[in-house]
Amino acid sequence: MTSDLSKKISAWLKDQVISGGGKGVVFGLSGGIDSTVTAYLCKEAFPDNSLGLIIPCHSNKADIDDAKSVAKEIGLKYETIDLDKVYNILLESFGHMRDDRDLSLANIKPRLRMTTLYYYANKLGYFVVGTGNKSELTLGYFTKYGDGGCDLLPLGNLTKRNVYSLAKSLKVSDRIINKPPSAGLWKGQTDEGELGVTYQDIDNYIEGKTVSENVKSKIEEMIRKSEHKRNMPKIPDF
């Protein structure tokens, strides 16, 4: 059920948490492939001190069901915290009607989830484990201070195709593997639809393989515009 890579990453996770004075790990469990692989790795590193949080915010019920199934399949402790009301109240305070396709509003969801994760982390003495992979991190495809807000990124050196390969070695359910990748920001949203490029092209670019000039231009523009997401806030050098 495990691979050499999964053991290596799990050992790294355990070392990072313990050396940092932590007792365990907490992470978001969305029902997608990245969070599922992260759950397997965390469970391996901390069999008794791993907590998956299912944090729906006007989310697809099928994703919630998948997340619960993953937790039950691997014997993972989990809790469900519904943020629908919190999100609605916040939007009312801003004077907005719900419009999930407005990115400024949709990004509130991962930021509320980050707040929830850190509440549990502080309460339990755990580290927050993010689920971002190298493909997403390279393009800045994450919400700043949202799903980008975490302590450790065990998948951060794996491209999306590497994550799929690891998922198969861990015997993750085909149901999870075959789902179109989605951040769940709005109904019908998919990663590739929003990015305008495929993960295959993104991974080929990262690995130095040939991609079209149009794809290369799109990817490099996204990398340039998202540079601020991968760095600490700038301060004057005088």
The answer on whether 29 is annotated among ligand-binding residues is yes
- The Cα–Cα gap between 238 and 123 comes to 39
Strands (E) in 56-124, as ranges, are: 77-80
The answer on whether 10 is annotated among ligand-binding residues is no
The crossing angle, in degrees rounded to 10, of helices 4-19 and 160-169 is 100
The answer on whether 34 is annotated among ligand-binding residues is yes
Are 206 and 134 spatial neighbours (Cβ–Cβ below 8 Å)? yes
The answer on whether 135 is annotated among ligand-binding residues is no
- β-partners of residue 80 are 54
Catalytic residue IDs: 34, 136
- The Cα–Cα gap between 121 and 25 comes to 7
The answer on whether 228 is annotated among ligand-binding residues is yes
- The Cα–Cα gap between 188 and 6 comes to 31
Query: For the CA atoms of the chain, what is the radius of gyration?
Result: 18
The answer on whether 229 is annotated among ligand-binding residues is yes
The answer on whether 151 is annotated among ligand-binding residues is yes
**Could you tell me how far CA 50 lies from the centroid of its own chain?**
16
- The Cα–Cα gap between 20 and 179 comes to 35
The answer on whether 134 is annotated among ligand-binding residues is no
The answer on whether 160 is annotated among ligand-binding residues is yes
Q: Which residues are annotated as a binding site for Mg(2+)?
A: 34, 136
Per the annotation, binding residues are 28-35, 111, 131, 136, 144, 151, 160, 182, 228-229
Q: Which residues participate in the annotated binding site for ATP? A: 28-35, 131, 160, 182
